[in-house]
């Protein structure tokens, strides 16, 4: 029986429907989305790109991701933290990214706040400290459509805002938590849900 929100591809693989129809989105869904990571650079990049996505689609951002990586020096926190007004102007003239002054300045600001956080513990350890203690065992399409944020995402958002970060609202933070593997929101019936869950079970959460 077909499950709502699940599409079987030409390769016979069942996937979450949002990933079907675009090879780039499909590859992102299959290889990256919801797989846990403790890489500070990747986590910082994801937080920044989710901020850039605000008001746009993830598909738009994903298509521009390599341009973003080039423009923001691979999202190296120390390098981005040193960006000044000349860099802002350079980025505003870069047609390969989203040219939004507020989001560009936010990324630079957040890099500086990230360095401050690093005096306490790594970004990975901090973000993972907000992961839910108990994960859902199953997830259907109707539930996912209603799930725009959680108490844990709200708490992470509140914490980062208190630390001076921007463009880190609760919905944005939940999208980042989904992408970084803090939760597994592959739908029940998606071929990759069990594989991702096994990775999450074997993953050691960073503590510092």
Structure tokens at 134: 């108990």
Judge whether 4 and 142 are in contact, CB under 8 Å. Answer: yes
Among 50, 152, 165, 174, the active-site one is 50
Contacts of 42 (CB under 8 A, 6+ apart): 180
174 is catalytic: no
Among 18, 58, 197, 199, the active-site one is 58
- 3-class DSSP string for 157-181: HHHHHHCCCCCCCHHHHHHHHHHHC
85 is catalytic: no
Among 28, 195, 197, 199, the active-site one is 28
Residues in the chain: 208
58 is catalytic: yes
Q: Which residues are catalytic?
A: 28, 50, 58
């Amino acid at each position: 029986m077909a499950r709502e929100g699940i599409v079987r591809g030409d390769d016979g693989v069942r996937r979450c429907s949002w990933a079907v129809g675009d090879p780039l989105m499909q590859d992102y869904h299959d290889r990256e989305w919801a797989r846990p990571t403790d890489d500070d650079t990747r986590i910082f990049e994801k937080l920044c790109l989710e901020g850039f996505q605000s008001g746009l689609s993830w598909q738009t951002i994903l298509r521009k991701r390599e341009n973003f990586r080039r423009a923001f020096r691979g999202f190296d926190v120390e390098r981005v933290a040193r960006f000044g007004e000349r860099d802002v102007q350079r980025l505003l003239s870069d047609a390969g990214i989203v040219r939004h002054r507020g989001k560009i300045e936010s990324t630079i600001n957040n890099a500086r706040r990230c360095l401050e956080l690093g005096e306490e513990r790594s970004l990975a350890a901090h973000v993972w400290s907000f992961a839910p203690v108990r994960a859902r065992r199953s997830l259907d399409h109707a539930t996912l459509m209603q799930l725009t944020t959680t108490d844990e995402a709200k708490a992470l958002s509140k914490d980062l805002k208190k630390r001076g970060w921007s463009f880190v609202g609760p919905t944005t933070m939940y999208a980042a938590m989904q992408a970084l593997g803090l939760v597994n929101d592959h739908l029940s019936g998606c071929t990759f849900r069990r594989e991702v869950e096994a990775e999450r079970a074997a993953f050691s959460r960073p503590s510092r």
